[in-house]
A and B are shown apart, each in its own frame.
Chain A
Amino acid sequence: MRLALKTAILLALCGSLAMASEQFSMSDEDRAMYEEMLENNPAEIMIESGGELFEEYCGGNAELAKFLGVKEDALTEYLAGFPRYIESLGMVAGIDQVLQALMHQRGHKPFALKSSEMFEISSYVKSLANDVAINIDVKANKHMKEAYAFGKEVFEAKRGKRGLSCLSCHSKEVIGSILRTQPLPDFRANNTAGTWPAYRMTKSELTTLQKRFQGCMQNALLEVLPLGSKEMNALEVYITERSNGLPIAIPGLKR
């Protein structure tokens, strides 16, 4: 009852009352047209640039594997398990934070997490694991267990004046309902963790999942959490777990 009320408030907030009618849901033909656009994704150019940055600033696959303490031929499988607890960093971290540490180790000023260079370089590195099944282990150690639990807490925490949480719009009950012409996503069915980073059509930019979280928080009038923060990494762990077993397929293409 309260959930329905909160969702109704959010609908009113967004300024339109969209019925989940045929009128606003995409037909199969339309959906196929959008899927076909993945074949010619502008983000592929950005990822190519990311590859050049990776070679120049991080020393390529060999150096990254060494930094992570894995064999080079096991690198892509390892990358498909991020975010991970990284001992040398003493925290659960994303690929981007690992790259920052590696850049620093090699005497370079690390790219800021929110910079386009970092989006490009971390997307490139994640794309090395394209087609590899996501294998995040949320029980690997106490840090991952904590991160997963904390991520769930952040997801469900009611924040802001309206008392909204991620769960208000992303619970099982409202999946598929139309909010301002878009159906609310099912994170597993949509393979959310496997299709971000993605090219956002409305921004003409390649952005990451955490950046998308920030956009979502902004829309729901919640205070935006910083990229790479404990809360955001925990949230990413929580959402990534839903895609376990599904293949990485980036860059994605999103609205």
Chain B
Amino acid sequence: MQRREFFKKLGFVAAAAAVVPSVSFAAEAAAPKGPNEFSFEEALKAITGSKGAAASDKIKLKVPEIAENGAVVPVTVEVDSPMSAEDYVKTIHIFATKNNNTRCIAAHLTPANGKAMLSTRIKLGTTQDVATVVELSNGTFLMAKQNVKVTIGGCG
């Protein structure tokens, strides 16, 4: 079926058209390949520089343990933060660590959001960890990840 072929193709390394994000990451000056070919580890390094990201329970990462289908997987990230001018979440990144393009979305928030929350739906080509990296206004980085089992098949 079309969907099976789609997921097979996710593993195919194609020369995708180079796309330059309109908001670039500060530490991306020495990006190794095109922006669509970062592995999660490379992306993490590009985003956090030498700082790295600490696992944190301030982050609530909500993804299903078992995704009913790989085409539409809900992901929600909530970060415990006052979202004040002095202390707020600057960016929430979401990664599908085993997708051909691991990056899904990077939301640059401001105190006007009131709450550090990002919710969306992503395509997952296979069972993998979904990860989130959070940049705080004080320049530190937090992260969380969770494994999502992707069920292929189903009667319809």
Contacts and interface: CB of A to CB of B under 8 A. Distances in A.
A/B contact in complex, CB under 8 angstroms:
yes
A37, A169, A181, A212: most-surrounded residue (chain B CB, <10 A): A181
B51 interface: no
Contact of B3 (A34, A36, A202): A202
A37 B155 contact: no
Q: Contact residue range for chain A?
A: 20 to 34
Interface of B: 3, 62-66, 68-69, 71-72, 74, 76, 121, 151, 153-156
23 contacts: A14-B155, A24-B151, A29-B62, A30-B64, A33-B62, A33-B64, A33-B74, A33-B76, A34-B64, A34-B68, A34-B74, A37-B74, A37-B121, A180-B154, A181-B153, A181-B154, A201-B68, A201-B69, A201-B71, A202-B3, A202-B71, A212-B156, A216-B155
Contacts of A33: 62-64, 74, 76
A219 interface: yes
Interface in A181-197: 181-182
Interface in A149-203: 169, 179-182, 201-202
Interface of A: 14-16, 23-24, 26-27, 29-30, 33-34, 36-37, 169, 179-182, 201-202, 204, 212, 215-216, 219, 255
A179 B69 contact: no
Contacts of B76: 33
A72 B74 CA distance: 40
